[in-house]
Amino acid sequence: MTDAPAPLADPHLVYDPVAGDGPKDVVILGSTGSIGTQAIDLVLRHPARFRVTGLSANGSRVDLLAEQARRLGVRTVAVAREDVVPALREALTARYGAGQPLPEILAGPDAATQLAASDCHTVLNGITGSIGLAPTLAALEAGRTLALANKESLIVGGPLVKARAKPGQIIPVDSEHAALFQALAAGTRADVRKLVVTASGGPFRGRTKEELANVTVEDALAHPTWAMGPVITINSATLVNKGLEVIEAHLLYDIPFDRIEVVVHPQSYVHSMVEFTDGSTLAQATPPDMRGPIAIGLGWPERVPDAAPAFDWSKASTWEFFPLDNEAFPSVNLARHVGELAGTAPAVFNAANEECVEAFRAGRLPFNGIMETVTRVVEEHGTPQAGTSLTVPDVLEAETWARARARELTDRTASAEARA
C-alpha cells in the first residue's frame, strides 16, 4: 500500500527558496489587472516586507504599466504584445526622465514565461486565462515560490503542474482556496471530512433557468460583491468559476470530488470552510477584499499586518447560506464530470467556456447558450488524453480543437437566431 500523494498546497509545509536579507523579491505577472493592481497596493504599503523586481502585462495599458514600474523601481518589464514596445519605452522615458536608465523590456508571447523564471523569491501569477500555464510551469521549474491566482493554469495542466511542484511550493491566492489553505492548518489531512467552497451566487442568484434565458451582458457584469475583469465576472454569473474552483480544490488538496461541496453565501464574508471528522467546521471569514488572499500568497507563513479590512463586530450583520441550484447553474456538476475524467477534459471545458463567454459578450450567444455549448463540446471530446502521459502539446491541441468547435457551434447559433 502506497502513501497518498502530498497535496500541492499544504499550510503545514513551507517551501522557501534561498533568499538574502531584506525584503522578499517578488515578480508580478498580470500587473495591470485586478490581482496585480491590488498586489502592488499591498507591496507599496509594506516596503520593508516586499520588493518587486519584475512586472508583466499584456500591453493594453502601457501608461499604467510604466507608472507601476517607476513607483516600484523594477528591473524588468514584460509585455505580451511586441507592437506596444515603442509606446511602452516612450511612457517609461516620460516617467523616469530623459537620460535615466530604463528597466529591461521583454516582449512577445513568451515574455511572461521568461520573467517567471527570473531571479526572485516569489512569483505572483495573476494572469487571466490558460495562457498562464507556461509561466506557472516556468516559475516552478526555476524553484520559485508560486503565489497562484491563475486558476486556469492548474485546471488545464493539472498533471503537469503536479509533476513539477515541490511540497509547499504553491500558495493559492483565490479567495476560496486561500480560505481553505488557512482552515486546513487547524488539522491533519486525515482529519478532513469535507471541503465547503462558498459562492456568492453572482448577479442571478435565485433565478430559474427560464428566467436566465434573456439576461444581457450588462446584467451579467453587475456582480453584487466583487470587482473583477469581464471574463471572470461572467464566469461568476454562470458559476463556471465555482466549477473551476472545485477542480482546483481537488488538485490542490487531493480531496475526492464527492467530498467537495458548493454552498451559496450571498454576503461573501465566509470565503470557504473545512469540515473535520469530529464534526467541527472551520470557516475563514473577512470582508470581501482580495488583498487578504494576496497577502497570504506573498507572505506565508507570516501574515501581513493590516493587509485588508477586518470586521466591525460592534455592528449587527446577517450571514446566509443556501444550497446550489444545479438546474439553473449546471456548470458545477459539469466541472465535476470533467475533473473526474481528468487528462485533457478540463482544458476542453475551460477553452470552450472562454470562447462562449466571448460570443456572449459579442451578442452571438444567449446566456444559457454558454453552458449548453460547453456541454456539447465536452461530450464531443469524448475520452480525454490520459493524465499520466499528458504533455503541454496535448493540452494545446485539445484547447485548439475546443475553441474551434465552440466557435463553430456559436456561429451556428448566431446564424439561426438571425434567420428567426
Query: Which is more confidently placed, 273 or 203?
Result: 273
Q: Which residue has the cell 526622465?
A: 97
Is 241 annotated for ligand binding? yes
334-386 tens-digit pLDDT: 999 999 999 999 999 999 999 999 999 999 999 999 999 999 999 999 877 65
Is 33 annotated for ligand binding? yes
Q: What is the mean pLDDT of residues 108-121?
A: 97
Residue 205 has pLDDT above 80, yes or no: yes
Taking the domains of the chain in order of start, what are their residue ranges? 177-419
Is 63 annotated for ligand binding? no
Cα separations in angstroms, 171 against 36, 47, 81, 147, 275 = 16, 21, 29, 5, 21
- Which string of DSSP letters, residue by residue, matches 165-227? PPTT-EEE-SHHHHHHHHHHTTS-GGGEEEEEEEE--GGGTT--TGGGTT--HHHHT--SS--
Residues whose CB is less than 8 angstroms from the CB of residue 139 and which lie 6 or more positions away in sequence, other chains included = 116, 117, 123, 125, 146
Is 245 annotated for ligand binding? yes
Cell, residue 143: 524553484
The DSSP symbol for 309 reads: -
Paired residues of 252 in beta bridges: none
Is 353 annotated for ligand binding? no
Q: Does domain 177-419 have CATH number 1.10.645.10?
A: no
301-334 tens-digit pLDDT: 999 999 999 999 999 999 999 999 999 999 999 9
- Percent of the chain surpassing pLDDT 70: 95
127-180 tens-digit pLDDT: 988 899 999 999 999 999 999 999 889 999 999 999 999 999 999 999 999 999
Is 151 annotated for ligand binding? yes
Phi/psi at 256 (5° precision): -60, 155
Is 229 annotated for ligand binding? yes
Phi/psi at 203 (5° precision): -75, -10
Is 34 annotated for ligand binding? yes
Query: Do the Cβ atoms of 33 and 112 come closer than 8 Å?
Result: no
Is 158 annotated for ligand binding? no
Peptide bond before residue 305 is cis, with ω within 30 degrees of 0: no
Is 175 annotated for ligand binding? yes
Is 209 annotated for ligand binding? no
Is 67 annotated for ligand binding? no
**pLDDT of 2:** 36
Is 176 annotated for ligand binding? yes
Phi/psi at 268 (5° precision): 60, 35
